[in-house]
Amino acid sequence: MLFRQMRDVFFVGFFSSLRVVSATALALLSLIPVTAYAQTGPTKCAQVLTAAQVRAAVGVTLKVFVLPNAESGVTECAWSRTGSAEASSGPTIRVQFFERTAISANPVVSSPEGYYEMIASAAEEIAGRKREAVSGLTAAGTRAATVQGSGQILVLVQRGDGIARVVLGNVTKAQATAIARAISGP
């Protein structure tokens, strides 16, 4: 009988401790914000388009959120005015950068030129409008185009290290062109 009472006391104490530890761990995990993926580290999409370039192109400071990688060689960043009253009406920028390794691994189109054409053609078909080439690019081996959608503008830039696909909301054509020039390099 004494053994049973000692065992019961032990289990009650053990499970009470376990319950406290579990509740504490759960409380700590709930404090981690959903924006834990919001990083500004050396991710390629955040290097392709920097905060200074965004500010120069659209005239406002936006915050970058690096999104989880969907596949190897592809990075994605979203720029917005989070937390402000103007966030819903301000400019939004979503950059997908496809590195050459990701492009060459594509089973459909494995050359940068073909990949650029595939994305541009799909955008033209969806928007029902032709692409417009961006002039005045100074970096060798780059090309850029815009496709005007009904509420957004697609900017597509081919560089030596990959292709940037940028979807812009609440921006002007001039701002979209400035973004394309910034991504294309000096």
Q: How far apart are CA 142 and CA 60, in angstroms?
A: 27
Name the average pLDDT for the chain. Answer: 80
Give the mean model confidence (pLDDT) for residues 27-44: 43
pLDDT band at 83 (very low <50, low <70, confident <90, very high): low
**Neighbour tally for 95: CB within 10 Å:** 27
Q: Are strands 92-99 and 63-67 parallel, antiparallel or unpaired?
A: unpaired
CB neighbour burial string for 109-123, b if at least 16 within 10 angstroms, e if fewer: eeebeebbeebbeeb
C-alpha pair distances (Å), 160 with each of 91, 120, 164, 180: 28, 17, 11, 15
- Dump pLDDT digits (tens) for 91-110: 999 999 999 999 999 999 99
**Residue that wins the pLDDT comparison between 16 and 98:** 98
Section 115-124 average pLDDT: 96
The pair of three-digit structure tokens given for residue 28, joined into one six-digit string: 């700590």
Q: Residue 93 is which amino acid?
A: I
Q: What percentage of the chain carries pLDDT values higher than 70?
A: 74
Q: Are 104 and 114 in contact (CB under 8 A)?
A: no
- Entry pTM: 0.74
- Residues 121-155: tens digit of each pLDDT: 999 999 999 999 999 888 888 999 999 999 899 99
Residue 171 reports pLDDT greater than 70 = yes
Please name the residues in contact with 81: beta carbons below 8 A apart, sequence gap of 6 or more: 60, 61, 62, 63, 87, 90, 91
15 to 12, 18, 21, 45, 75: CA distances (angstroms): 5, 5, 10, 48, 45
